[in-house]
Amino acid sequence: MKINGIRGGLLALVRALAFVGLLLAGTALLAVAVASVSVAGLGLGHLIQNLLRAGLSGGRQDLTDLLGAALGAACCWLVLPAALLATRRLTMRTRRLSARWCGVPVRQAYAPAPPGTRHPWWPAGSVHGYRRRMSWLLGDAATWRDLLWLAVNTVAGSVLLLVPLLLFGSGIVAFIIPALGSLAWFYGLQHLVPPPAFPGNTPLVLFIIGLAMVVAGAWIAPPVVRGYGRLARWVLAPSTQAELELRVAHLARTRSETLDTGAAELRRIERDLHDGAQARLVAMGLTLDAAGRLIETDPAAARTLLYEARDASARALVELRDLVRGIHPPVLADRGLADAVRAIALDSPLRVRVTGTLPGRPPAPVESAGYFAVSELLANVAKHSGAVEAEVDLRHESDALRIIVRDNGAGGADPSRGTGLRGIERRLAAFDGILVVTSPVGGPTEAILEVPCALS
Amino acid sequence: MRVVIAEDLFLLREGLIRLLEAYGFEVAAATDNAEDFLAAIRKGGCDVAVVDVRLPPTFTDEGLRAALTARAEIPGLPILVVSQYVEQLYARELLADGAGAVGYLLKDRVLDGAQFTDAVTRVARGGTAMDPEVIARLLARSSAAEGPVGRLSPRELEVLELMAEGRSNAAIAGRLFVTERAVAKHTASIFAKLDLQPSDDDNRRVRAVLAYLGR
């Protein structure tokens, strides 16, 4: 056996062990979910039974039955949603590990949380909220897949994973250690080692059997781990239809949001032009007209008016320039995203370091979305974080534009509260882009935005 | 003084020619694209160039790049770049060679003929003329000022700011309502704090401005 083979085998064994850990956690979750449902069911059943009986005989309610029903309801209210979400976490981890360790990527397709769900892990605050949350979780085919996976994993997964682990483990514990233990006898340490599994054999035979088991365990571990990944994919991968349904829902939502944003933007531009440059031009026309009338009779006053008109034209230019900057920043058009971000960094009151480069230019709409996202993020940093330094990193990796904005501020930014972050998310969503903000209290805050795109 | 102009908008180009000629400049060539501009520069005999940032064919920053090319070919060639908007990034690129004789103004400044031609003259004589808007945006950052520039007193910063716009000591004194002697004292203190060795005064002014813009 080559060194690589041995290492691969041992690595696969460690991974199998980790999967067993996940499996146990999953089984426990399944037990919790089943238990809370059955406690609720039993409690309710008893209550109804007694109610019926009491109604017939005119007797009184048993206190324990009421308590049972209350406990069941509490379980369903408090525990069940959290258990389902924990299951989701667990299977997401399994999917990731399956891609990384087993070479079997497993896709996922969860319906997004209903709007306004802020802390899905906490018990819902109202019956309505609970119903909405449960219909989100239980109405999602992916949830049922997750539960099915917990069951399948508990039965089939454990058998699969335990074969190499048991071979390897028992080879060591039951054969090799006792074989070596008989050597330990010489040193008076034999009471420390377990007795051999098959007494009567010579240490050499024990050792050979043990070694064979260990080697066999390590040898079958890699294919077993791969097989486990396939099992996970078989159960966990969403059907094409489920994926397409989610995709359609996502596209419909982002499309309408994009249209709304576009329309609002046009209204803003129209208003700015109407109240700004247009009004100034009208005023300028009037001033010039007055100057024209005065030029013969009162040249001095006419000159004052002419200078006034000149100043008004300068102000109109300033307004137009600001407007253009808001629509499509000239430096972005001239130089592309990396230099435009450098320009933002120079204008920011913070010390901003820009790292990374882009080997080409993303499509213009993506560039624009990225530019305004960085601009908004840095403005947020300057306004709220109390940071004095920030860092922007740009790169294009695995077919996606990735921009990281990091600061040394106080942290505690909540994406669900600021409209700015929500706006960035909406803007990026139109390109299937995402924004992830991690901002622990005490800082630092890190915002990562990623937009799939090709460079030209 | 002989000027070469590169400006693609006909009206503005004609306006510039008329303005400069009215103030006694001689327009050696007025071009509407970067290539003709560079050709005119290479012919020589030009004291100062006025270049628009946006030029055909791509209408991005061709004019700026042409200006940088011209400066690389003829070091120290006085160039005044005008644009519809100003970017600190571009200001830095223009100043990067440290040779001075550079200006960067908004096109709006053309409206005030006297001030504009004054800026052209300053650049032609080896000074700088930075648009007040570049300076204003720099000031917005000054809360986070660090390094040598952070050591300057508020008054010295004011002086440096006007110096960056390209004003002479006399003009600065007029602006701040102090004597020219007081301004000279401030500039000496600025040079000392920025660690600029006493050499040629103009060159030191440019280097002070560079330190200011470079933070």
Read off the pLDDT of each residue in A264-285 and give the average, rounded to a whole number.
87
Q: What is the pLDDT of residue B215?
A: 47
* A325/B85 Cβ within 8 A: yes
What lies within 8 Å, CB to CB, of A309 at 6+ separation is: A284, A287, A288, A291
Residue of A153, A149, A196 lying closest to A177 (CA atoms): A196
* Average of per-residue pLDDT values in chain B: 84
Nearest to B169 by CA among B148, B191, B137: B191
What is the distance in angstroms between the Cα of B89 and the nearest Cα belonging to chain A? Answer: 6
Cα B90 vs. chain centroid, distance in angstroms?
11
B66 and B106 together in one domain: yes
Residues B80 and B151 in one domain: no
- Same domain? B81 vs B158: no
| A37 in the same domain as A147 | yes
Domain boundary among B82, B103, B131: B131
Is the domain of A18 the same as that of A89? yes
Q: What is the pLDDT of residues A105-133, one digit of tens each?
A: 888 888 877 776 666 777 777 778 888 88
CB–CB of B166/B127 below 8 Å? yes
Count of helices and strands (H, E) across chain B:
11, 6
Q: Are residues B195 and B97 in the same domain?
A: no
Confidence of residue A198 (pLDDT cuts 50, 70, 90): low
Q: Inform me whether the C-beta atom of residue B11 falls under 8 Å from chain A C-beta atoms.
A: no
- Total domains in the fold of chain A: 3
Helix (H) or strand (E) holding A365: helix A364-380
- End residue of a domain, out of A219, A236, A253: A236
Q: In terms of domains, do A214 and A290 share one? A: no
- Chain B partners of A339 at a C-beta cutoff of 8 Å? 89
CB pairs under 8 A between A and B: 51
As a whole number of angstroms, the distance between CA A249 and CA A138 comes to: 18
What CATH number did the domain enclosing B34 receive? 3.40.50.2300
Residues B76 and B182 grouped into a single domain: no
Residue B146 has pLDDT above 60, yes or no: no
Cα–Cα nearest to A93, from A29, A47, A1, A41: A29
Average pLDDT over residues A394-398: 89
- For A293-337, the pLDDT digits (tens) are 999 999 999 999 999 898 888 888 888 888 888 888 888 988 899
User: Domain limits at B40?
Assistant: 2-131
B36 and B103 in a single domain? The answer is yes
Contact A37, A245 (CB under 8 A): no
A91 has which bridge partners? none
Place A188 in a pLDDT band, splitting at 50, 70 and 90: low
Q: How far apart are CA A347 and CA A351, in angstroms?
A: 10
Say yes or no: A166 and A297 in one domain.
no
* Residue B136 belongs to some domain of the structure: no
Pairwise CB contact (< 8 Å): A321 & B87: no
Residues A63 and A116 in one domain: yes
Of A236, A266, A301, the position where a domain reaches its end is A236
Domain count, chain B: 2
Q: Parallel, antiparallel, or unpaired: how do β-strands B79-83 and B102-106 relate?
A: parallel
**Same domain for A447 and A378:** yes
Domain-ending residue, one of B97, B113, B131: B131
End-of-domain residue from the set B108, B131, B154:
B131
Whether B89 sits inside 8 A of A331 (CB atoms) is: yes
A300, A349: one domain: no
pLDDT of A2: 56
CATH code at A430? 3.30.565.10
